Amino acid sequence: MRHLIKGVEKFQREVYPEKKATFQKLANGQNPEVLFITCSDSRIDPNLVTQTDPGELFICRNAGNIVPPHSNQTGGMTASIEFAVAALGVQHIVICGHTDCGAMKGALNPEGLDSLPHVKEWLGHCRSATEVVKERCGKLSADELEEVTKENVLQQLQHLRTHPAVASKIATGQVILHGWVYNIEKGDVLCYDDETGKFETMDDAYAESSTSA
């Protein structure tokens, strides 16, 4: 904990003065372009990976980068998505999974989560991903972790489309969805390509084709 306190001191002493104008502007409101949904895993830092500044990303985090399908029961994710899209007017929504995801390991072995009932119930939102991989691979084991991680991103994108605020903006071309997987060890980010149906290496071509909303 001591290093956190020292970090705050360093921020106030060194970082804030350099970005004072930015923070003063942000004090009166925000206008992020991107809603970034990712895992709560401590190894993931969205601003570090994307090299963005405060105010550029509206970030939602939870175990497994999950988006529950829309329902009449209000939850934190549902409210945050609605606010980001309908109130803040984000133009892009990224769902970013990652390698070695503990939530995906749990989704592969739900029987091992009996002592974590809330986690087990939450990961029920990943069941479509595990079922797809099981059907495709003929089995479901730890060897399929990468496939489940990728498929989960795709399934959560499908869930996003059930949210009225998102569906309406997609229909009018005001919001674009993106599926990413971040490799912690290598620093790579793979992005889903609708044309190839695969996760591809991020490059300039992807940047050009995916930035217009």
Q: What is d(CA 96, CA 150) in angstroms, rounded to the nearest whole number?
A: 9
Phi, psi (deg, nearest 5) at residue 96: -120, 110
Distance CA(201)–CA(47), nearest Å, equals 19
One-character DSSP codes across 119-167: HHHHGGGGHHHHHHHHHHHS--SGGGHHHHHHHHHHHHHHHHTTSHHHH
Residue 96 annotated as binding site: no
Check whether 125 is labelled as a binding-site residue. no
Tokens coding 25: 């502007």
Please tell me whether 203 is known to bind a ligand.
Answer: no
Q: How far is the C-alpha of 189 from the C-alpha of 132, rounded, in Å?
A: 23
Binding site residue list for Zn(2+) = 39, 41, 98, 101
Binding site residue list = 39, 41, 98, 101
